[in-house]
């Protein structure tokens, strides 16, 4: 088991590297000037050039990638957010806990309901319970996640007022998003 886990984790390294290269290239293919965006719409050309030099955008793309990836590997530095001017690591850290709990609760819902529906379908093979379970499972896979989320919000938040529509303050905030994500 440990050998399998190590093998899978080592196989993840080339995938992460490829994703990093592709994201880096896609960001450079986007229209617009990142230095102009960082400097702001009111900045003059001199300020934009200073920001471009400060961000390292005046260097060739391969050199930019090596410098960026080197900072990630050696210092764990993902850079600074252009929008908030804060370290990206802090931005990720603030959102990690909510994302983690949303993932956990989505898995709990999907495993619980999947096991219940699977056991009922297995014990009532070729009866209406089996067909209803199959229809529910296919619906969960087929129904678009964004549409299910909006439908659940309309019913349970807006219509009935039982659950909040947004936020991550209490356990009630995780119910609708986790059911929505776990449905598939």
- Cβ contacts of residue 172 below 8 Å, gap of 6+? 163, 164
Q: How far apart are alpha carbons 26 and 50 in whole angstroms?
A: 24
Q: Given this model, what pLDDT does residue 71 score?
A: 84
Instruction: Summarize pLDDT for 146-160 with one digit per residue, the tens.
Output: 887 888 888 888 888
Where are the domains positioned within the chain? Answer: 2-89, 93-182
Q: Given this model, what pLDDT does residue 129 score?
A: 82
Q: Please, are residues 121 and 134 in contact by the beta-carbon 8 Å criterion?
A: yes
- pLDDT for residue 64 is more than 80: yes
pLDDT bin (cut points 50, 70, 90) of residue 13 is: confident
Mean pLDDT (whole number) for 57-81: 83
- pLDDT for residue 9 is more than 80: yes
The CA-CA-CA angle for residues 139, 144, 145, to 5°, reads 105
- Which range among 1-5, 61-65, 72-76, 167-171 shows the weakest confidence by mean pLDDT? 167-171
Q: Given this model, what pLDDT does residue 75 score?
A: 83
Cite the DSSP H helix spans in the chain: 2-29, 34-39, 45-55, 61-75, 88-123, 128-142, 145-152, 175-182
- pLDDT for residue 38 is more than 80: no
Counting Cα atoms < 13 Å in the Cβ hemisphere of 109 gives 18
Task: Share the mean pLDDT of the chain.
Answer: 82
Nearest to 60 by CA among 70, 68, 72: 68
CB atoms within 10 A of CB 174: 21
Is this prediction's pTM over 0.85? no
- Which range among 6-20, 118-132, 163-177 shows the weakest confidence by mean pLDDT? 163-177
Q: How far apart are alpha carbons 139 and 137 in whole angstroms?
A: 5
Q: Given this model, what pLDDT does residue 132 score?
A: 85
Q: Given this model, what pLDDT does residue 24 score?
A: 80
Q: How far apart are alpha carbons 90 and 150 in whole angstroms?
A: 30
Q: Given this model, what pLDDT does residue 104 score?
A: 86
pLDDT bin (cut points 50, 70, 90) of residue 182 is: confident
Q: Please, are residues 53 and 63 in contact by the beta-carbon 8 Å criterion?
A: no
Instruction: Summarize pLDDT for 78-137 with one digit per residue, the tens.
Output: 777 777 878 888 888 888 888 888 888 888 888 888 888 888 888 888 888 888 888 877
Q: Please, are residues 172 and 137 in contact by the beta-carbon 8 Å criterion?
A: no
């Amino acid at each position: 088991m440990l050998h399998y886990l190590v093998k899978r984790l080592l196989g993840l390294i080339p995938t992460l590297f490829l994703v990093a290269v592709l994201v880096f290239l896609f960001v450079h293919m986007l229209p617009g000037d990142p230095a102009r965006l960082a400097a702001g719409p009111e900045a003059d050309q001199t300020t934009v050039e200073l920001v471009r030099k400060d961000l390292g955008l005046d260097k060739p793309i391969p050199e930019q990638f090596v410098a960026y990836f080197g900072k990630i590997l050696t210092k764990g530095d993902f850079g600074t957010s252009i929008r908030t001017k804060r370290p990206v690591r802090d931005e990720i850290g603030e959102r990690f806990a909510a994302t983690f709990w949303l993932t956990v609760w989505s898995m709990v819902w999907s495993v619980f309901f999947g096991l219940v529906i699977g056991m009922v379908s297995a014990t009532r093979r070729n009866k209406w319970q089996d067909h209803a379970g199959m229809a529910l499972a296919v619906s969960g896979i087929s129904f678009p996640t964004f549409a299910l989320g909006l439908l659940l919000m309309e019913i349970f938040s807006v219509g009935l007022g039982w659950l909040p529509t947004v936020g991550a303050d209490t356990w009630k905030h995780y119910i609708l998003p986790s059911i929505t994500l776990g449905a598939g």
